Every structure is written in C-alpha cells, then in structure tokens.
Structure 1
Amino acid sequence: MAYDFKIRSAVTSTGKTAYYAKVTGLTDPEFFVAYKTKYEERFGLYNVSVSNNLVYNAADYVNEFGFWAYFIEATAKVESQGSFLCLNTYDRAYFTFGFMQFAAHVPNGDFVRFFRKLLTLPNALEYFPRLRLINDRIFYKNDAGATSQLENDSSSQKLMEYLNPTTNEVEQQELICSARFIHWASNDPKHRRVQVEHSISLYKENMKKYSKRLNLNGYPAKVCFMICDILHQGRGTYDRISYALDTDSHEKAFQNLCTIGNTHYPTRINGLKVHLKKLEQAGLFNKKYKADTNEFV
C-alpha cells in the first residue's frame, strides 16, 4: 500500500520556513523534509542535514565494492558531507538528490538512471505508486491505467516537472516527492545501497571514458580521482586537464589539476586535498590505474 504523507510547515527561530512530513496511519514520528529557499529568481527546497547513521562511509561498503568505495568518498564529502538525504529543488535541474547530488535535468543522466534503479526495488510502488518502469523508461500511470512516458534520450523535462512542477514557488507535489525520497533513503538500506552502487558505477564508467581520451594507464589514484571530480562538477575541460597532465611528474600533474577551478571553488578543492591526504596516510589510496581492466592495483 502506498505511503500517504501529510506535510506541515513551521517558521524557525532564525526565520526560515521548514517543512516536516508524517506518514498518515502510522505511529512513526514526523521527520524533517527541507527548508524553503530562493536562488536567483527560483524558489525551492534544500536539505543538507547530516545524520551519523545516514552518511556515506567508504568503510561500510569496501567489502562489497573494494577500492572504488574509497575512490568516490572525497567527492561525496565535498558534495554533501556524505549525506544520503541531500536534496535541492531550487536550480535549473528542478530536482537533485543523494550524496553525489544526482540532477534530474540531464536525459539519461545520473539522476534518471538512479531513479530507474530505485523503481526496481520491491517497495517502489509504496513511494511512487503512479510511476512504472517500462522497457527501462520511466512512465506515469493515470487513474484509467493509461501510461505516458516521462523521459527519453532527448529530454527529462516531464520527469522534472512530475517531481517539481515549477520553480516559481514551493508546491505540494514538490514537497510530497521530496518527502518520499527523504523517507525512503532514511528507512531503506536498499535505497542507500542503490545510491552507493550507482555512484561507483558512474565513476567506473567515467574512468573508462577519461582514460581512453587522456591515456591514464599507470597514473596514481589521486590524479585519476581529481580528473573525475573536475568533470563531475564541471569546473574544467578535457583540454585544460590534458595541459595539467603534460609533465613528467605525477605529483606535479596532481598539483596542476588542483589549480583547475581554484579561483571559484577553493573550499571544494581544499576539502578534496585534505580527504585524499587522510586516505593516503591510512594506506588506502596508494594504487595506480590499470586501463585494460579498469581497476586500481
């Protein structure tokens, strides 16, 4: 049976509008969904709260995913402090969720593929009773049983608007969909595992592509990681990265990569460097990339 969420709002002591949700018919306590915010001319929600048991920790997943669990960890920390509940609905993506901040505006992008995987979970209909996965595409099913496709190779706009109808104001549908994601991630370890699996799959796929373009065989993990993070965030181009790698020293290449975007994103880059150093000192990040197997050895 589908969960029915009741939403309430309250104004905090600092003047923020906060939204809370409760599953009707259950004795479970209400939970925090998000704060309201304005970004440029857009209104939306954000949740950057961090709960100790709802934070990505590579050590929790290394037995299943090996070194790749550590490989994504620094990005997770700077994106969201590793929060499985990280949410925003106020920018051009309309809906962004997860510790890697998967964004809904890209057709076949990280959020769309992530959501497809979520819809294969046994309890998917409890959270999104109107959505169906048909031929690996997301469809909406109306009361009459007719289905309409929400995303394809060229657009995810209908899916974006299903999750968040507009950015002109915070709307009930936006709040309900946000509550569904927050509750699902909070209460279902399978949901959280999908976040992890998809994040690792994303970086593994990217490493194949980046290595083919940049010839990364034999490069240290920290150089490869920084390339992944640069292109994940979008703060640099292949040409700029290629120029940074044009040196006979891997350490110099790493330092060069750390300058890309440093004018606008110094906090992120410093955070990455600190976390990578911690992993290196623990002996957890001293591998090199082997292109023919797409693994670090």
Structure 2
Amino acid sequence: MPYDFLISNETSSTGRVVHCAQLAGSSESKFVIGYSTMYQGNTGLFNTTVDSQKVYKPADYESRFGFWSYFIYPTAKAESKGSFSCLNTYDRAKFTFSFMQYAAHVPNGDFVKFLKNLLTLPNAGAYFPKLIIKESRIFYKDQNGTLSRLEDDNSTMPLMNYFNPSLSEIERQELICSARMVHWATNDPEHRRVQVETAIEHFKKNMVEYDKRFELNQIPAKVCQLVCDIRHQGRAKNDRIAAALNTGGDFEVAYRNLLTIGDTNYAERIKTIDSTISELQAKGLFSKKYNASDNSFIDT
C-alpha cells in the first residue's frame, strides 16, 4: 500500500518557514522535510539537520566495505556532516539528496544510480509507487499504465521535473517527494546502505580513473582522498591536481599542495577534510596506501 504524507508548515523561532510531514494513518510524529530558502533567484528546500542516530559512521559499514568505509568519510563530513537525510531543491540540479548529496541533473550520475538501486528494495512501491525500472531505465507509470521514460544517456530533465517541477516556488510534488526520501532514509537501514554502497562504488570507480591520470599506485590514502574530494566537488581540474602532486615523491608536500586548491572559496570544507583525515590517522584508521593492481588500500 503506497504511503501518503500529510504536509504542513510553520515558522521557526528564527523566522524561517519549516515544512513538515506526517505519515498518514499512523501514530508517528511529524518530521521536518526541509526549510524554505532562496538561492540565486531560485526557491526551494534545504535540510541539513543532523540526527546523531541517523548519521554516517564508518565503523557501521566496515565489516561490509572494509577501509573504503573510512576513505569516503572525510568527503561525507564535508558534504553533509554525514546526514543521511541531507536535502536541497534550490539549485540547477533541482533535487539533491543523501549524505554525499547525489544530484539529479547528471545523466547516468550518482542520483540516477542511487534511485535505481532504491527502486529494487522491497518497500520501494510504498514510497514511489509510480516509478519503475524497465530496460535499466527509470520510468513513470501513470494511472492508465502508460510509461514515460524519465532519464537516458543525454538528459535527466523529466526525472528532475518529477521530483521538483520548478525552481520558482515550492510545489506540493516537491514536498511529497522530499518527504518520501527523508522518511525512507530515516526509517529504513536498507535505504542508508544503498546511500553508502553508491558512494563507495563511485569512489572505487574514480580511483581507477584517477590512477590512470595521476599514477597513484603506492600513494598514501590521505593524498588519494584529497584528489577524490577535489574532483567530487569540482574545485579544480586535472592539470592543477597533477601540478600539486608533482613533488618528486614527497607525499607530505603533495598533501599540503592539494590542501591549497580552492582554499580561497572553500576554506571551511578543506578544513573539515584535513581535520577528519587527521582524526582518523590519530586512531590508526587511515595509515594506508593505494594498491592499483586490485584497486584497494593496503597497510603502509
């Protein structure tokens, strides 16, 4: 039976409009979907609330993913403080969700892969009853059974519009889709597992590509992590990264060089990455180096 959500809003103590939802026909409490905001002329939602019980903790996933669960952690902290219900609907992606902020505007990108995996879960029909997978693509199925493809190799615009019809106002469809995602992430550990699995698969795939470009074999994990984070955020292109790595094998200098990339505009993010890596190293959890032969990290 598809879930229905009762939508409401109120004004917070800071004067910001907060949008809430409650699962219809249940005794569950209301929960926050997101807060109204404006960004470069767009109107949308954001949710950066961190629930200590629903936040990414590498140790929770170490048995399944090994060191990779720690490798992605600095970026997760920088993206969302690890919040599994991190949401924004106000920028050009129209809909971004998860602890790694998967954005809906990229064809075959993280959000598309993430959503496809979500739609294979047993309770997917309760949250998104009109979305189905056919021939490896996401389709919308209307009340007459007619299918409309929402994404392909060239565009995700129909998918973006399904989750968020416009950037000029906050629509009911946008609120309902956001409520579904927040509730699902909060209440289902399998949803959170898919978030983590998507991130790790993405970073593993990227490490293969970055090794081809930057020759990262036997390079310390902290240097590799910074390369991944720079590319994940998009704060520099390959030539700038290659120049930072060109230190004649002095990995400490390479690490410090990478920390300077984007420091004018992204100082807080870089500080978070650096401090998180330092914390993991102090606990003996990040003393690894990359092994290109099998795309893994091994002890130094």
Per the TM superposition, whether the score is higher than 0.5 is yes
Give the corresponding residue for 2:143.
143
What is the CA distance between 1:27 and its match in structure 2?
Answer: 1.4
For 1:73 and 1:26, the matched residues in 2 are separated by 35
Give the corresponding residue for 1:231.
231
For 1:62 and 1:282, the matched residues in 2 are separated by 15
Unaligned runs of 5+ in 1: none
What is the CA distance between 1:84 and its match in structure 2?
Answer: 0.2
Give the corresponding residue for 1:282.
283
- 1:3-22 equivalences under 5 Å are 3-22=3-22
Equivalent position amino acid for 2:259 in 1: C
For 1:271 and 1:183, the matched residues in 2 are separated by 28
- 1:117-266 equivalences under 5 Å are 117-248=117-248, 249-266=250-267
| Identical counterparts, % of pairs | 54
Q: Is 1:293 the equivalent of 2:291?
A: no
What is the CA distance between 1:104 and its match in structure 2?
Answer: 0.4
What is the CA distance between 1:75 and its match in structure 2?
Answer: 0.5
For 1:32 and 1:245, the matched residues in 2 are separated by 43
What is the CA distance between 1:259 and its match in structure 2?
Answer: 0.7
For 2:17 and 2:128, the matched residues in 1 are separated by 26
For 1:97 and 1:13, the matched residues in 2 are separated by 26
Equivalent position amino acid for 2:293 in 1: D
For 1:271 and 1:145, the matched residues in 2 are separated by 48
For 1:281 and 1:10, the matched residues in 2 are separated by 44
The SS at the match of 2:155 is: coil
Equivalent position amino acid for 2:289 in 1: K
The SS at the match of 1:53 is: coil
Give the corresponding residue for 2:113.
113
1:97-124 deviation line (CA, Å, top 9, x unaligned) = 0000000000001111101100010000
1:70-110 deviation line (CA, Å, top 9, x unaligned) = 00001001110000000000000000000000000000011
What is the CA distance between 1:14 and its match in structure 2?
Answer: 1.5
The SS at the match of 1:52 is: coil
- Count of residue correspondences: 297
Give the corresponding residue for 2:52.
52
1:31-69 deviation line (CA, Å, top 9, x unaligned) = 111100000110000000000111000011111110000
The SS at the match of 2:53 is: helix
For 2:292 and 2:127, the matched residues in 1 are separated by 40
The SS at the match of 2:217 is: coil
Equivalent position amino acid for 2:258 in 1: L
What is the CA distance between 1:131 and its match in structure 2?
Answer: 0.4
What is the CA distance between 1:23 and its match in structure 2?
Answer: 1.2
Equivalent position amino acid for 1:250 in 2: F
For 2:204 and 2:244, the matched residues in 1 are separated by 22
For 1:10 and 1:247, the matched residues in 2 are separated by 55
Give the corresponding residue for 2:84.
84
For 1:13 and 1:289, the matched residues in 2 are separated by 48
1:141-188 deviation line (CA, Å, top 9, x unaligned) = 011101010000000000000000000000000000000000000000
For 1:288 and 1:30, the matched residues in 2 are separated by 46
For 1:237 and 1:24, the matched residues in 2 are separated by 48
TM-score (norm 2): 0.98
For 1:132 and 1:76, the matched residues in 2 are separated by 29
What is the CA distance between 1:266 and its match in structure 2?
Answer: 0.5
Equivalent position amino acid for 2:262 in 1: G
The SS at the match of 1:138 is: strand
For 1:210 and 1:170, the matched residues in 2 are separated by 39
Q: Is 1:32 the equivalent of 2:1?
A: no
For 1:78 and 1:230, the matched residues in 2 are separated by 11
